[in-house]
Each structure stands twice: as structure tokens, then as C-alpha cells.
Amino acid sequence: MGTGEGDHGEPDLWGGRFRTGLDPAVRRFTGSLSFDRRLARHDLVASMAHVRSLWEARVLEDGDARRLLEGLSGILSELEEGELEVEGPDEDVHGWIERTLTDRVGAVGGKVHTGRSRNDQTGAALRLYLRERLAGLVAGALDAAEAWTDRAEEHREDVMPGYTHLQPAQPVTLGHHLMAHARAVLADARRLRDARREAGVSPLGAAALAGSSHRLDPGRTAQLAGLEEAYDNSVLAVSDRDYVAAALFSVALLMTHLSRWATEMVLWTSPQFGFAELPDGLAQGSSLMPQKKNPEVAEVLRGKTGRVVGALAGFLTTLKGLPLAYNSDLQEDKEPLFDALDTGAGALEVTAATARGLRFHPARMRAACDRGFLAATDLADELVRRGTPFREAHRQVGRAVLAAEERGCGLADLPLDVLRECCPGAEEEMRERLDVEAVVASRDGRGDPAPARVGEQVRRAREEIAGLRRWRDELEEPPVYRAYRSGTLLEAP
């Protein structure tokens, strides 16, 4: 029996104890190559770390180790150059790598699996892949945060109605509102960074579940693979998918935030609100109604959130019944994760584009502040300052709102005598305090909507964005990958 091929001519990684090959329907159903092929480069890097570590531990001799590393490097460089496709009859990418390696270097290729199982191998490849993607998502989240921050600075002074229950509540500024989105996605960026760290535990060395009788050094393997640390328990090392759940949660919450922005874009671009307009490049028309300009990008963004939340819920459901250690159910980690990562990356791109591209209509927002009695609380607060208990002031101003509604005017436009019938403590000078610009200016605490405070939020956000960008720029490639690139991978330990 040659290069990992069973008697029946199939490239199985077993064979010895089987008399027949696998039923084709079972192979189709259980195979993962069609989707785990995207882990090939990361598995090759993990394999290089494993071989290099075996070599340093003298489990592999110089000649064998060099041939394996040469073979793995050749595969990796052809993949990177686009000269090789990950395809074939193999069950998964791990089988593909061992078969491809053995085809190239001969039977010594079988030594790559010394002290290793696909159970620790698959976790290592997935963790390396996920860490790369999460770093990319952090960058995408920072771009979105920066887009909102830039627009917030631009609209620091422009007042708009703030809402609760989607009813006009109190005036804020557009800049303040946009900084709320920037803040949320900055928290997402930190959460994604933390999920990347959580994915940094190396399972290599745990093998199937119980480690290996070879003299392996999992700590060294982890270091060579560019991971943070080695596993502490070999059973958990191959059973653990908490890092997948954490990444899915981080992306699901990110999407949830972007989805709320999406709903606001749908509302704001409707003629009823008229607060904003999408540029042509970001909007779609109707195949039937010539007048339409639809915020479809926002709807799709909101719609895709459902499936990312579904990926999280589905994967937790997969996990919850599994006994330790490895079970093939765990193979179901990949498709939801890949889908969530791809969807999150695309969603961040269109979020940054819409945040930059939306044309706001501050005059419409300002006009909307005049309908809805946004300064009612501030009138009550003035009465409170002159000694009226708040609950009583609330009742008095409520009556004034009724009176203004009947006359079809704003609170500040009520004749003083009418105002006083409702609020006996009202005075002429109170009325200038009811101007929305004055109301916003009076909300002058840290994190509040006064333009100067929005300016502070902008400055703080810019500092955090710069800090997280530095973190990302300083990330290093795994040491074995750097050695492969610089041609030192085959140097004797």
C-alpha cells in the first residue's frame, strides 16, 4: 500500500483495518474538502511548526525533516502563486495536504503525522485562519468607526431630534448621534481583538486527545506557529471550540449594531423623514417604478444579520450535546464561521461606504425639532430650578403642551399669559432657554450632546482608532512563516 491509499484505491488516511472503501454517499455527505480547503495555507504553516518542532526535539532526523519542510514549502508557495488548487478525492484539507506531500516527497511524507492527529491539526489550522480574519475584521471595524467619527465632526453643531420609542424626545446633534454608532463599533473592534487572542491557544501536541509518547514540545510548537500559548489539557485542546463561539458572538453583535444603523438609514432616507439621501452609487432603483430610489444596501445589511445570529445559535446547538473529546460534529464549526466572517467583512465595507456617502439634510433635521415639543423637559427643569417639585412641573408642562397642540404652535410660542395658566411659575426669560440650540448647549456633561463634548468624543475615538491600528500593524506573521519567506526554514536547529 503506497502513499496513504487504501486497497480500494481511495486516498483514505486509514485503510489497514478496512476491507472495502467508503460508500460514495457517505463520502459526499461527510467530506469537508469543499469548504475546509480555505484552511490549506494555515494548515501548511501549522504543519511546518509541527515538523520543525519534531526536528528540534530530535524526533525527526535532519534528512527527513528537511524533505518534509521542503515539500510543505513547495506546496505553500504554489498555493500562494495560484499554481495549485486544493482539490481531489480527499475527505478533507488535512488528507489533501498529506497526500500532496507524499506524492512529492515519497513515503517520508507519512512522517508528517508523527505525534499528530487530524483532531489537533484541524484546530490549529482553524485557529490560525480565524486569527488572520479577525485581525482583518478589526481593521474593517476601525474604518467604519472612523467614517462615523469624521461625519460626526462635520456635523458637531447640527441639531436633530433624538428619539425614544421612535417618538421625538429631546434634541441632540447629528454628530452626537453618529458618535453613538462609532462608539459601539469601537467596542466591537476590541471584542474582535480579544476573540483573536482567545483563538491563540495551540492544540498541537494533544494529537487525538491524549498527547503523544514521542518527545514533543507543545510550547515550542505553539511559538513556532505564532500562537500565544500551548494547551493546558489535551482533552480540552481537541474538544474546545469556545474560540469559534466567541468569534461568532463578536461578529453577531457587530452585525446587530450595523443592523440598527441600517434601520436608521431606511428611516432617514424615506421621504417622511427626509433626513438623508443615499448617493446614486449606494442606492438601487425599481425595475417597475421609475421614481424609486431604494436603500437596499441597508435592507440587505439588516437582513444578513439574521443569518449571522443564526450561525451563532446553530453552532452553540451543535456544541451543547457533545461529550469530550473530539466528535465529528465539530466539523460543523467551519461553514457557519466562514459565512459569518465573510458576511461581517462585507457588512463593514458597506457600513463605512454608507457612513461616508450619506448626504445629510441638517435643515430638515432642524425643522423636525420644531415639531414634537423637544424642549418640554427643559421647561420643566426651569420650573424645578425655581422650586417646583419635578412631578408637579411635569404635570404643568404637560398642560402647556396640550395648550400648544390646540393652538398648533410650539411651547416657546405660547403667549406668556397662556403659558402661566398652565405653569404659574413661568417667566418670560425661560422661553429663550427653550430654543433647541440652547437646549443642546446646556447638555454639557462628559459624553453629552453639547458640540464641545461631541468634539471631545471625536478626539477620544480618534485616539482609540489609532491605538488599535498600531496594534494591528504590529502583528507579526508566525515565525515558521517568516522563516519560509526568508529561506531559513531548513536551517539546522
Burial status of residue 91 (CB atoms within 10 A of its CB: 0-12, 13-18, 19 or more) = buried
Q: What sign does the CA torsion over 70, 71, 75, 81 have?
A: positive
- Minimum CB separation from ligand ARG for residue 69, in Å? 23
Question: 10 Å Cβ neighbour count for 71?
Answer: 24
- Minimum CB separation from ligand ARG for residue 249, in Å? 21
- Minimum CB separation from ligand ARG for residue 328, in Å? 5
Instruction: Please say if 270 is a catalytic residue.
Output: no
Inter-helix orientation angle 40-56/93-105, to 10°: 60
Q: What is the C-alpha to C-alpha distance for residues 266 and 295, in angstroms, rounded to an integer?
A: 6
Contact footprint for ligand ARG (CB under 6 A) = 32, 36, 92, 94, 118-119, 122, 328, 330-331
Query: DSSP letters of 59-126?
Result: SS-HHHHHHHHHHHHHHHHHHHTT-----SS-SSHHHHHHHHHHHHH-GGGGGGGTT--HHHHHHHHH
Backbone angles phi, psi at 223, to 5 degrees: -60, -45
- Minimum CB separation from ligand ARG for residue 282, in Å? 38
Q: Which of 165, 213, 287, 486 is an active site residue? A: 165
- Minimum CB separation from ligand ARG for residue 320, in Å? 17
Q: Give the E-state strand segments of 330-483 in sequence order.
A: 359-360
Torsion of CA 392, 393, 398, 401, to 10 degrees: 160
Q: Which is nearer to ligand ARG, 119 or 212 (CB)?
A: 119
Instruction: Please say if 361 is a catalytic residue.
Output: no
Residue 395 CA to its chain's centroid (Å): 46
Q: Cβ(329)–Cβ(322) under 8 Å?
A: yes
Name the grid cell of 285: 432603483
Q: What is the C-alpha to C-alpha distance for residues 471 and 184, in angstroms, rounded to an integer?
A: 19
Q: Which of 8, 34, 270, 286 is an active site residue? A: 286
- Minimum CB separation from ligand ARG for residue 149, in Å? 40
- Residue 400: C-alpha distances to residues 379, 440, 446 (Å): 10, 21, 31
Bridge partners, residue 230, by sequence: 202
| The residue type at 148 | W
- Minimum CB separation from ligand ARG for residue 196, in Å? 21
Q: Which is nearer to ligand ARG, 94 or 155 (CB)?
A: 94
**Which residues neighbour 415 within 8 Å (Cβ) at sequence distance 6 or greater?**
none
Catalytic center residues? 165, 286
